[in-house]
Amino acid sequence: MNLNELGWSEHFAAAQAAVAAPNLVPARVARQDYGCYLVFAEKGELVADVRGRLRHEAQGPADLPAVGDWVAVQPWPGEAKATICAVLPRRSCISRKTAGARTDEQVLAANVDTLFLMVGLDRDFNPRRVERYLTFAWESGASPVILLNKADLCKDVEDRVLAIETIACGVPVHALSALAGDNVEAIRGYFVEGRTAAFLGSSGVGKSTLINALIGEERQEVGAVRESDGRGRHTTTRRELVFVPAGGMIVDTPGMRELQLWADEDAAGRTFGDIETLARRCRFRDCTHRTEPGCAVQAALDDGELDAGRLESYRKQQRELAYLARRQNESARRIEQAKWKSIHKQIKELDKTDKRQFGMQ
């Protein structure tokens, strides 16, 4: 395989050189199956596992290889197998908080150039969800593009495109019908050699249908959508890197019923740049934009310049990110406490050993 077609660059070449091991070669993670990986290298496809030292030194799941990662591998002589010895620094990282009570990062895909945020123009249409996707995308480091699918089922496409453009802050917005093939050609222009795209969207939004159209084969299973709520079941069950015949690659991801943000407290600022600009004109620097006199945000709300739903979406994301920051700090504190507890225990054991050696009780 040609490394340039896989997205190899000087950035990764420098990182690979820093590993400083002549027996290691670069490869890109294409698929993960229960701790076993499929990687693409110059010599072809290799089945790989993770070196024990790398797994042991990982601070969490996010430090282990993910689909799209560039890794340094040691091929097995005479076999189509390899051992992953290092994960090269990521240029972008699409992450979310893991579901449930734990405060851990789950990496969905790495080194993605373009992140397609896909929303249906049927019952799935929801500008507030788009705002959430945008915060998610800006934090990842990938360039977002909004796709409004199922245009064939919508009577007011232009109005809905305008509604999304109003909140998208200059992000490209495309209306299309993956099933009918309408405007799919406009999406092909984002795929060029060496660049990687990923699709995010809820189940039943049409990601698999569009991916099949882009790669020219029925690679992804397509599922039916329920009439009751316009949602579908997950037809993509794992993340996988696939090639587009015209050039470039796609990381397909399962539909997500829950998208918990993994970002800094100020991550919502870029998504809600209009509100942040208004806030800078408030009389008080610590304005909460509720009852304070001289609040520019409330004035814009009263004048109809700012939508109440958008303001509430902004507040909701701020609350969520603040809560996440508190949980992360608490998690870091517990990890630090556990580390020092282990160190003190080792010191005590050494002290006991020394005393026994010198006949002391």
CATH of the domain at 207: 3.40.50.300
Task: Assign 22 a pLDDT band (cuts: 50, 70, 90).
Answer: confident
Question: Considering the domain boundaries, does residue 3 fall inside one?
Answer: no
Question: Considering the domain boundaries, does residue 40 fall inside one?
Answer: yes
Task: Assign 258 a pLDDT band (cuts: 50, 70, 90).
Answer: low
pLDDT for residue 291 is more than 50: yes
What is the mean predicted confidence (pLDDT) over 183-188? 92
Please give the tally of structural domains in the chain: 2
Tell if the pTM clears 0.85, that is, is over it: no
Range with lowest mean pLDDT among 2-6, 113-117, 252-256, 333-337: 333-337
Question: What's the angle, vertex CA 312, arms to CA 310 and CA 318, rounded to 5?
Answer: 105
- The answer to whether residues 44 and 132 belong to one domain is no
- The answer to whether residues 83 and 112 belong to one domain is no
Give the pair of three-digit tokens for residue 337: 């406490």
Question: Considering the domain boundaries, does residue 144 fall inside one?
Answer: yes
What is the mean predicted confidence (pLDDT) over 316-344? 67
Q: What is the Cα–Cα distance from 232 to 207, expressed in whole angstroms?
A: 11
Whole-number pLDDT of residue 165: 95
Q: What is the Cα–Cα distance from 352 to 361, expressed in whole angstroms?
A: 8
Mark which of 87, 115, 132 sits at the end of a domain.
Answer: 87
- Residues 208 and 252 sit within 8 Å (Cβ to Cβ): yes
CATH of the domain at 50: 2.40.50.140
Range with lowest mean pLDDT among 58-62, 67-71, 260-264: 260-264
Question: Considering the domain boundaries, does residue 280 fall inside one?
Answer: no
Question: Considering the domain boundaries, does residue 310 fall inside one?
Answer: no
Question: Considering the domain boundaries, does residue 124 fall inside one?
Answer: yes
Question: Considering the domain boundaries, does residue 115 fall inside one?
Answer: yes
Whole-number pLDDT of residue 235: 47
In terms of residue numbers, what domain contains 82?
A: 10-87
- The answer to whether residues 159 and 122 belong to one domain is yes
- The answer to whether residues 161 and 230 belong to one domain is yes
